[in-house]
Amino acid sequence: MPAEHSLFIPIILGTTRQGRESEHVAHLVFEQAKKRAGVDVELVDVRELPMRLDDAGEQMKDPKFSATIERCDGLVIVTPEYNHGYPGLLKHALDMNLKEYIHKAVGICGVSAGAVGGARVIENLLPVLRELGLVTIFEDVNFGKVGTLFDERGRLLDENYVRRVDKFLDELIWMARVLRHGRENIAPV
Amino acid sequence: MPAEHSLFIPIILGTTRQGRESEHVAHLVFEQAKKRAGVDVELVDVRELPMRLDDAGEQMKDPKFSATIERCDGLVIVTPEYNHGYPGLLKHALDMNLKEYIHKAVGICGVSAGAVGGARVIENLLPVLRELGLVTIFEDVNFGKVGTLFDERGRLLDENYVRRVDKFLDELIWMARVLRHGRENIAPV
Amino acid sequence: MPAEHSLFIPIILGTTRQGRESEHVAHLVFEQAKKRAGVDVELVDVRELPMRLDDAGEQMKDPKFSATIERCDGLVIVTPEYNHGYPGLLKHALDMNLKEYIHKAVGICGVSAGAVGGARVIENLLPVLRELGLVTIFEDVNFGKVGTLFDERGRLLDENYVRRVDKFLDELIWMARVLRHGRENIAPV
Amino acid sequence: MPAEHSLFIPIILGTTRQGRESEHVAHLVFEQAKKRAGVDVELVDVRELPMRLDDAGEQMKDPKFSATIERCDGLVIVTPEYNHGYPGLLKHALDMNLKEYIHKAVGICGVSAGAVGGARVIENLLPVLRELGLVTIFEDVNFGKVGTLFDERGRLLDENYVRRVDKFLDELIWMARVLRHGRENIAPV
């Protein structure tokens, strides 16, 4: 019974920067998602992907990453905002796959040092995610002033974010479930 | 049996400009959509909506337009590109509703005098449509050099667009059906 | 001596919504700009412009508004964020002019009820302003949680915004001056 | 006499993909720019920049690339459109510098296999370039159906593009000159 299968929702940590604060955010989302019954999670660290500096696109495809995307029902992208846009290596990674994304759900957690909480990088990513065939949910989490949200060991200092992440995951899981039903049961027109 | 119900997919003609060429496009999409079994269509002309110049947003809500959106399963937006953005009155109209859009599908037909076929207005609309709770499909139709595509009576001169509109409608109808199943059968998380 | 002329910098209040909070913001910017030596200001209220609901674009041009834009050296746009985009009637107004904007400076004050302070509407406006020929400066003011920033009479409650507006005006005035020198003294290539 | 100095306008080839067609475009723009009196050009190939896959941002700064940007008066970015967004490694490269870009001009040549000629990647780059302090001119060149525009040796097959590149360079040079005058002669406010 397909509706009973676990959903697979990888969390992509979208920056390779030394000293990245988004790592705490990715771990928080990972831990919250792991608590959900019927949801399998995995952390995909863009820093660990075997990418190259002299190529781009599908011809640089990594079999393991492609299999993860192929198998997933939804994605979380945790991304800082660099100069109002997405990190280059996040895009470099996303561009390695193509058909693997189609008709799956994605939610974005934006991270920034200032008050906007990555609101701009989320907008900047929308056209890309749509073209990949992903459905971006309309719940985001904005981690603003990220430097004040976690202690040195990465423990969350503001419990409001647990609630926000949970609400975000609710919507993402719902959409992932709906689209999976569609992929498995509703014939193309 | 909900899956057997007709889908309701209004087509929004998104400009009020005198001399608008998008009108031909909207009629073409309307006629193609009308041919689909199990799809009810309606043309919503932004020029006919009772809007005001001294207000904005939900407080300007029109009961008839709201009921149309409330009842719909998907939308087509036919929009010209004005200065790389969306027509003001299209946005003025869209902003009148809110919860009516949630978890419904939308597809965009971009129109422009030049070669890009409204590619930029489509990108410009994405953040708005997402915030409204709509899911924008990843098929578009780009009506470039629109002045050459129809004769004086609005008859299509380039038959390739029939195929393009049909492919676009296939995807829109699939997504409308999938989301409708979700709204009706899959409980919020 | 052109460099000695006053700069003319109108402030556009970009929403017509009844109950708009951006009005306080526009007045604040107007008052701060008025204090600058060599700067003439004027408040342009989109609600006061003679627009129509059955047309769009340059063919709806208003001679007074066009003359204001023609004469200006820079613009401030004060805009709320409606569903992550710009107010429809702001765009309807902007689209009425065209060549009048070329090679002039513009700065944006974003307004929103939430924490992001209109950060998203600013991004949404960028392609439009560029196409009009305007140069958007890279200083913004984000009026977040606007409902808490002014008292009932419109008096500012958080003095930090005076400093932010002043910094924004510094950059806008510099860019307006630079572009004016260019328009008046540097021949097209 | 500053106004007599040569302008320095590097051309950034913004993709590292094996088989990139943007290379022909970059060479065309380079050759056309080189013909201009008073303009020094240089080709910056993102593939040649010493970047890393385990870091990001200014902490990855390359002295030579930074010096080029520091010295420049304007930039051309030649960029393909990958999934409606910018190539990851173009962004990775741009993010290495910061203050070096301020108050300089930039123009974008968009490249794509389809008809839109990179129109979408240009829109996607605008918020990033603005945040860097660059002024994006409102002339673009759209190299659509790029696979048909050059022969195997990279010779241009459609002479219309010479005229388009020249018009684009006219505007870029004008803006570079205007902003340079501003940087050198007009005091910050």
Give pLDDT, residue B5. Answer: 82
Going from the C-alpha of C105 to that of each of A100, A179, C175, the distances in angstroms are 44, 46, 6
* Residue D156, beta-bridge partner list: D150
| Residues B158-187 as b or e (16 or more Cβ within 10 Å = b) | eeebeebbeebbebbbbbbbbbbbbeeebe
Give pLDDT, residue B158. Answer: 97
Answer whether D169 touches C (CB < 8 Å). Answer: yes
H or E stretch at D88:
helix D88-94
Q: How large is the average pLDDT for residues D25-47?
A: 98
Residue B24 has pLDDT above 90, yes or no: yes
Is the CB of residue A106 less than 8 Å from the CB of residue D119?
no
Give pLDDT, residue B4. Answer: 58
Q: How large is the average pLDDT for residues C91-120?
A: 97
Q: Which residues of C touch D125 (CB under 8 A)?
A: none
Q: Which residues of D touch A131 (CB under 8 A)?
A: 83-85
* Residue A74, beta-bridge partner list: A105
Q: Which residues of A touch C127 (CB under 8 A)?
A: none
Give pLDDT, residue D1. Answer: 39
CATH number belonging to the domain at D7-182, selected among 2.60.120.650, 3.40.50.300, 3.40.50.360, 3.30.70.141: 3.40.50.360
3-class SS of residue D52: coil
What is the residue-averaged pLDDT of chain B?
A: 96
**Neighboring chains of C (3 or more beta-carbon pairs < 8 A):** A, B, D
Residue A175 has pLDDT above 70, yes or no: yes
Residue D122 has pLDDT above 90, yes or no: yes
Q: Give dist(CA B89, CA B99) in Å, integer.
A: 20
User: A91–D94: do the CB atoms touch at under 8 Å?
Assistant: no
Residue C4 has pLDDT above 70, yes or no: no
- Regarding pTM above 0.90, the answer is yes
Residue C63 has pLDDT above 50, yes or no: yes
pLDDT tier, D5 (very low <50, low <70, confident <90, very high otherwise)? confident
pLDDT tier, A4 (very low <50, low <70, confident <90, very high otherwise)? low
Residue C17 has pLDDT above 70, yes or no: yes
Q: Give dist(CA A71, CA A69) in Å, integer.
A: 5
User: What count of residues does chain A have?
Assistant: 189
Residue D2 has pLDDT above 70, yes or no: no
For the B2-182 domain, the top CATH level (class) is alpha beta
Residue C101 has pLDDT above 80, yes or no: yes
Is the CB of residue C75 less than 8 Å from the CB of residue C106?
yes
Give pLDDT, residue A5. Answer: 82
Give pLDDT, residue B3. Answer: 45
Residue A1 has pLDDT above 50, yes or no: no
Listed by start position, the domains of chain C span 2-183
Q: How large is the average pLDDT for residues A56-71?
A: 98
What is the percent of chain B where pLDDT is above 90? 97
The set of residues, in sequence order, having a beta carbon less than 8 Å from that of B119 and lying 6+ positions away, is B81, B110, B140, B142, D116, D119, D120
Q: Give dist(CA D163, CA D82) in Å, integer.
A: 26
Q: Fold for domain C2-183?
A: Rossmann fold (3.40.50)
Comparing alpha-carbon positions, the chain C residue that sits nearest to D180 is C178
Q: How large is the average pLDDT for residues B32-56?
A: 98
User: D92–A88: do the CB atoms touch at under 8 Å?
Assistant: yes
Is the CB of residue C76 less than 8 Å from the CB of residue C107?
yes
